[in-house]
């Protein structure tokens, strides 16, 4: 006898992605202020990394943002990717739990 | 709700919080090129450890399913493969971001067929095929058996890539030939966070995987079809 | 209780019976071999059209050669178990012949088909694309080892997809990811065999990888086949 009432579900994932995109587009204004590049401690093994050609070109666009503040934003990006992955997984779980609840309702109404 | 599950889940959550705090607040030695991105060691590398753990769990339960034929093992093999896929995708994505803005600056290279990258991609393709194979069966018993056979059969070919790929391309990863081993480049303070991070992410895998297994059990009892 | 030699002879007898049955069926309809032949020729034609008439370098030749071989294997070799299922002869086979002998027979049949495809492809590449073989022994060894690995993988996967209820083009999807180690080493060894100054030692690592791959895949196929067969 239950009519499946589908409540409005806000599209959380797109909203989060939109927020992220907005942050990336707004970031140049706040962050890419050309912080003076400090030299790190040059250690012996830096140069052994294969494929590690020291950049000769001027960094532009997205790179300028990501390389500011000693590349801490790269770490932020990595943490955000993991966080978004886990959110995505949990949201899918949520949808499956919703399906299970509806199936349970159908079973109940059979008796 | 299982008490052991609740306990481990809470411990994992507190542990991960402490790990993230340590990852950002502890001072680490500065290295050229790497700079702050050395902190990605705590986030990117555990993705691979976790994926490996999940792949092994999946293979173990596939083998058990072939031996015993229990639905429980099939559920566990499938859900472990699902979570392994999640961590594999995360490992690839974080690796792409890290390498693009650290070693490939000014080159526009996003993907370089690094040996470990390729291996992970192949393992993900195998799981993709595994899910496709599962979806082409109607009958749960037959599906479980055939999928377990494919999971094991395809998985044994992946270690060959360890032998073949390093001869094809240079690697950015430590321990590959010409590169310093992990021990040589990792400061003690970083190990203080890195090993707990690995444990924490594997714990997180266990939490996510157990949730999915419990859901699959409910689904199985409702419809006698464990496919989530 | 038969002794070991007798049991071995019986096993070989059963496997050979399956192989002969497959060959006889194939001889009557010539379905698979025609399909494979047409596939190789038409894909080769497309390659030639796409690349034009210029001289093609050995690395590219090796890659194209193996792409044609692997794709035709994925298209034409999944049939053998499917046909049993469709004609309803599966039960008869299950009753009369133990699983490992069926697998051995089908595997040998697929090996024969792959080798036929390979010889057609190599000859066509030599004729149409100007492929020059520098080290024939190395090329033969590569083709031989590659075909054993390929046959092991396609035969077991063919048995798997014969059980599926929604078939479609499943075999390529299942086959290609697990074939990547084989593909990488086989292409490199073929490159070596096509370039000047090829030596056995130049491809030693690739050949050992191929031997290992063929061995592991075929062993696993025999171990796992029982679970697919006794349904």
User: Could you state, in order of their start, the residue ranges of all structural domains in chain A?
Assistant: 69-111
- The residues near A93 (Cβ < 8 Å, ≥ 6 apart) are B211, B212, B215
So what's the pLDDT on residue A73?
A: 85
Share of chain B above pLDDT 70, in %: 93
Q: Which of A102-106, B34-38, B55-59, B106-110 has the lowest mean pLDDT?
A: B106-110
Question: Which structural domain, as residue segments, surrounds residue B34?
Answer: 3-223
The residue that leads in pLDDT, B1 or A52, is B1
* Residue A57 contacts B, CB cutoff 8 Å: yes
Let me know how long chain A is.
Answer: 111
- Residue C63, token pair as written in the block: 């890659």
A9 confidence band (pLDDT: 50, 70, 90)? low
So what's the pLDDT on residue C80?
A: 76
DSSP state of A59: P
So what's the pLDDT on residue C7?
A: 81
So what's the pLDDT on residue B78?
A: 95
So what's the pLDDT on residue B109?
A: 74
- Please count the helices (runs of H) and the strands (runs of E) in chain C: 9, 0
So what's the pLDDT on residue C182?
A: 92
Chain C residue with Cα closest to B130: C174
**Touching chains, B (3+ CB pairs < 8 A):** A, C
- Cα angle value B120/C70/C20 (rounded, 5°): 125
Across the interface, do B132 and C177 touch by the CB < 8 Å criterion? no
pLDDT for C111 beyond 90: yes
Complex ipTM tops 0.90: no
For residue B122, give the nearest of C167, C173, C180 by CB distance: C180
User: Could you state, in order of their start, the residue ranges of all structural domains in chain C?
Assistant: 4-229
So what's the pLDDT on residue C91?
A: 78
Q: What is the pTM of this model?
A: 0.84
CB atoms within 10 A of CB B36: 20
* Residue C216 contacts B, CB cutoff 8 Å: yes
What is the distance between the alpha carbons of residues C138 and C198, in angstroms, rounded to a whole number?
8
Across the interface, do A48 and B180 touch by the CB < 8 Å criterion? yes
Integer-rounded Cα radius of gyration of chain A: 24
Average pLDDT of span C8-36: 85
pLDDT tens across A74-104, in order? 888 899 999 999 999 999 999 999 988 888 8
Number of structural domains (chain B) is 1
* Residue C201 contacts B, CB cutoff 8 Å: no
pLDDT tens across C166-213, in order? 767 888 899 999 999 999 999 999 988 988 888 888 788 889 999 999
CB C192 within 8 A of CB C203: yes
A49 confidence band (pLDDT: 50, 70, 90)? very low
A36 confidence band (pLDDT: 50, 70, 90)? very low
Share of chain A above pLDDT 70, in %: 51
So what's the pLDDT on residue C134?
A: 87
Chain C residue with Cα closest to B167: C205
| A88 phi-psi bin (left φ>0, alpha ψ -120 to 50, beta other) | alpha
For residue B133, give the nearest of C170, C184, C205 by CB distance: C170
Inside any domain, residue B228: no
The residue that leads in pLDDT, B31 or B17, is B17
Burial class (CB within 10 angstroms; exposed 0-12, middle 13-18, buried 19+) of A56:
exposed
Chain C residue with Cα closest to B134: C164
So what's the pLDDT on residue A35?
A: 40
What is the distance between the alpha carbons of residues C143 and C121, in angstroms, rounded to a whole number?
11
Q: Is B195 helix (H, G, I), strand (E, B) or coil?
A: helix
CB C167 within 8 A of CB B136: yes
Average pLDDT of span B15-39: 83
So what's the pLDDT on residue B72?
A: 92
pLDDT tens across B138-186, in order? 888 889 999 999 999 999 988 888 777 777 666 777 766 566 666 666 7
Average pLDDT of span C98-116: 90
pLDDT for A46 beyond 70: no
Across the interface, do C165 and B139 touch by the CB < 8 Å criterion? yes
B26 confidence band (pLDDT: 50, 70, 90)? confident
């Amino acid at each position: 006898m239950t009519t499946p009432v589908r409540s409005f579900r806000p599209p959380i994932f797109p909203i989060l992605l939109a927020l992220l995109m907005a942050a990336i587009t707004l970031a140049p204004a706040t962050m890419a202020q050309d912080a003076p590049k400090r030299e790190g401690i040059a250690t012996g093994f830096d140069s052994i990394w294969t494929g590690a050609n020291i950049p000769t070109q001027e960094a532009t666009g997205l790179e300028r943002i990501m390389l500011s503040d000693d590349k801490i934003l790269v770490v932020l990006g990595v943490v955000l990717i993991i966080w978004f992955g886990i959110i995505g997984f949990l949201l899918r779980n949520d949808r499956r739990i919703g399906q299970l609840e509806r199936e349970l309702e159908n079973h109940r109404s059979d008796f | 709700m299982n008490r052991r599950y609740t306990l481990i889940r809470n411990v994992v959550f507190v542990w991960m919080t402490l790990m993230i705090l340590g990852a950002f607040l502890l001072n680490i030695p500065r290295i050229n090129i790497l700079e702050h991105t050395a902190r990605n060691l705590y986030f990117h590398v555990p993705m691979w450890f976790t994926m490996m753990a999940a792949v092994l769990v999946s293979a173990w339960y596939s083998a058990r399913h072939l031996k015993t034929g229990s639905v429980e093992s099939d559920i566990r093999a499938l859900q472990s493969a699902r979570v392994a896929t999640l961590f594999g995708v995360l490992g690839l994505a974080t690796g792409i971001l890290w390498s693009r803005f650290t070693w490939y600056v000014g080159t526009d290279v996003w993907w370089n067929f690094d040996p470990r990258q390729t291996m992970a991609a192949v393992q993900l393709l195998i799981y993709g095929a595994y899910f496709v194979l599962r979806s082409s069966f109607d009958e749960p018993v037959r599906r479980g058996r055939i999928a377990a056979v494919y999971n094991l059969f395809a998985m044994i070919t992946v270690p060959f890539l360890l032998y073949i790929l390093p001869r094809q391309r240079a690697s950015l990863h430590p321990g590959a030939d010409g590169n310093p081993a992990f021990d040589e480049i990792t400061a003690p303070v970083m190990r203080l966070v890195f090993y707990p991070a690995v444990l924490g992410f594997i714990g997180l895998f266990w939490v996510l995987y157990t949730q999915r297994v419990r859901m699959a059990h409910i689904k199985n009892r409702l419809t006698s079809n464990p496919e989530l | 209780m038969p002794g070991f030699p007798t049991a071995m002879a019986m096993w070989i007898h059963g496997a050979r019976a399956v192989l002969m049955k497959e060959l006889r069926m194939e001889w009557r309809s010539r379905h698979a071999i025609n399909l494979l032949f047409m596939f190789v020729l038409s894909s080769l034609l497309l390659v030639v059209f796409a690349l034009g008439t210029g001289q093609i370098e050995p690395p590219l030749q090796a890659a194209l050669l193996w792409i044609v071989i692997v794709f035709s294997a994925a298209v034409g070799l999944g049939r053998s178990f499917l046909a049993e299922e469709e004609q309803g002869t599966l039960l008869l086979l299950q009753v009369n012949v133990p699983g490992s002998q069926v697998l051995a027979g089908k595997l040998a049949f697929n090996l024969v088909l792959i080798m036929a495809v390979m010889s057609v492809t190599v000859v066509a590449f030599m004729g149409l694309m100007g492929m020059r073989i520098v080290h024939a022994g190395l090329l033969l060894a590569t083709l031989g080892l590659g075909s054993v690995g390929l046959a092991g993988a396609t035969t077991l996967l063919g048995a798997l997809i014969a059980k599926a209820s929604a078939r479609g083009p499943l075999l390529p999807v299942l086959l290609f990811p697990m074939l990547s180690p084989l593909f990488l080493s086989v292409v490199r060894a073929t490159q070596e065999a096509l370039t000047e100054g090829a030596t056995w030692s130049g491809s030693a690592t690739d050949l050992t990888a191929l031997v290992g791959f063929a061995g592991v895949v075929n062993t696993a196929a025999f171990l796992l086949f029982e679970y697919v067969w006794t349904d």
